[in-house]
Structure 1
């Protein structure tokens, strides 16, 4: 694993969006702290997380967690769990899964299933002389 000088953490990268107050940020950051291990492979200054909620604490609320990491596609996870804590746990766990999946796709040498698949045999290139046997 490569060492990142300034690893991303939830504490450094999380901002609260619509539906949350700055006062909510601390307990949400604590709830999301388990993401730190997954985020540590990225630089803090190129990683952002934003959590927001629409129609907070009412039937049909929607929690959204967005993650931007430089050089990668934005990852968006959502939950419509009625309980706010359950919804936050849901988006956190989904983000962790998606980051793990992206890492597996990016580094197949660490994925036993991909590593054990047969590698198709390369076709031999014809000899530089055109492949004809030498004349006698």
Structure 2
């Protein structure tokens, strides 16, 4: 299927969603575009309760590099999930990230994914303390 646009069948016809330059073969594909990868959904999860600074997010995710966190924040901002607010002019005294209204609409999805993940982890593993 190389070179072909993935499709879904709607009303007996092959179709795909086009959003800007992206082609999505189903709603799941469109959703995973926003949270794909290891860190985007974690960032959204932490921002569900309000704005946070870069350093606060980094502290909550010690395994992410600063470069990767910066790239993920920029990607989420470009997708309209996050808003970035700069306080002060030169140099910026403080930068805070928060979910946009569009990002807020994703919270029920993230909660469902999280609940499923907890159920899975509890049934297949155990809760451990991280030092």
TM over 0.5: no
Q: TM-score range by the shorter chain?
A: under 0.3
* Higher-Rg member (1/2): 1
The TM-score, its normalising length taken from structure 2, stands at 0.27
The TM-score, its normalising length taken from structure 1, stands at 0.27
